[in-house]
Structure 1
């Protein structure tokens, strides 16, 4: 499916890169320059659907500045690189434990790639151990990896659970900061607090889980690179190339033109929706040399985490977890071989990653 998507991206770029989708009633952007332009100009392209007939959203990612900045800044200190690096030893301990328990027939997704970020973000938020699995399930429903009739039940459970956690007036950490935050001379209501947790659960789980499995896929497909990593430990470049080549989030579906505007000579009407295809931008031939090859690049200006004011707040944490995971796999396995027949890709076109992954 994804090979077909990448071919579709290339065809779209070759046909101007800005295409109106009549079925989805939105403009789709496929070139790097067009995608970056929209992401960088939140004064022209809104993230808030309520101004254009939608119902907005609970999270600050659905807000525009200055409101977005004010809400984002409440938790931003916890995601500064210096603060995240304080978690290195704890993350390393979790990774060591998980990787030692992996067997040849283990599902790497379930037993490592999901478990590592779930434990990390759960510890960061103070989520009880027996609720971790439900938090992960909740995020799968919200992002679209899981679709059945049980969403209402899990959603109600999570709201009830989070309501209980906030009612206990947590004294430390992010939960405490969110619980006591003051915006525009008022405390956050419960829906706003839950919106924060929803964002952090999704961002803390999905992106990192998929980045880990995508790194293993890249190692499996590029045996020569493993030797390079084992000698030079060029971990940083490998992680960045994985983010470019297999972008965990393939597109951002919700930007809205605040007024009539043009993008590369294409007229966009006020209120029209825009989807930004990060996965295509990161394979744009005009930006990246040999974009369909996995190459450790000296300069890698991918936009896998977005760009501009809405750039992923959890990017430093995802990179640290990826760094620790990659080092652990390299230290414990001389070769990484993925069984492509048994491993199953996610069916959600918005993300690139695996439902199941097995050693071959």
Structure 2
């Protein structure tokens, strides 16, 4: 009899363990518009220093994209910028260093092979401090390739599609703000190629049953302006003022600032190390980045017995816009309407919104399907002025906090 009771207890623990483990995994979702996110081969750039006639071009740093360097005539040179694989969204990221043994004025053509130019060049002398290139110093050829007039000498000139923000820069920012008492830093897993996936957890006091807001960023490597907006948004949540202080006591925030560290450090146009658009992988999580992040959100919310009520995914595109779900949620009804109205009122400018049903395996659909939460894709324009990005990030955080506190 005793042996039967022991056996029964053993199998009960096994069943509980199995269900408990399953409870910490994100559900699979059969969206109406599925996407195959099985890994595909990528074309890696050869990391090297190119040298032609005393002029050097270098891609040996994280975030670089430079596939070839050639000379066209006595003072014209060309860099080739190619994608990691195809088909792909036309977001031709480039980043490289260039210098010369003797001072020279040259023309440098950026050749994308088959897509149109998108990003205005940024220049730096150290890879840390950036300035957008004077528009009088570059022009387009047939709306496709870019021609730049450069003065090069023995000092290194960095050229990039946007300010360089690789995985080291992101982790440095995360560790700096995690020194604040209301922020915890954690590595929640690894990317396909073994880079850290980091998380910030924001909140004060007991986390049990606190409603949860989730923030995502950098699913797509070139989308630096969205990352800047996310930084401003998060830093406003951490401000020392009555609104932010009260918010941190009532809510918890999970921040995943860099979902695609492989793609970022490898200078990809769009995809991760598995050659996949991560923002199409929120149904079956075939890539480790989405699997790790989705499971961590589910695990953390269930351990704390808290409800995810809002998910914001920061991106970049041609102009500022919010992509929202047209389906209403049980909690936070009309949140997006009041939130956008509040931002429009304070910023005193039109705010674009485009709403659709949650039918595709993107993050905003996942927040709705997994949690019944509000899901919003927060897009910033490629060329939105940096001071306006900072202001929008700050104001959008303030308006969110007001709505959530007054709705509590």
Q: Which has the higher strand share?
A: 2
Q: Which has the higher contact order (CA 8 A, sep 6+)?
A: 1
TM-score range, shorter chain: under 0.3
Between Structure 1 and Structure 2, whose CA radius of gyration is higher?
2
TM-score after normalising by structure 2 = 0.25
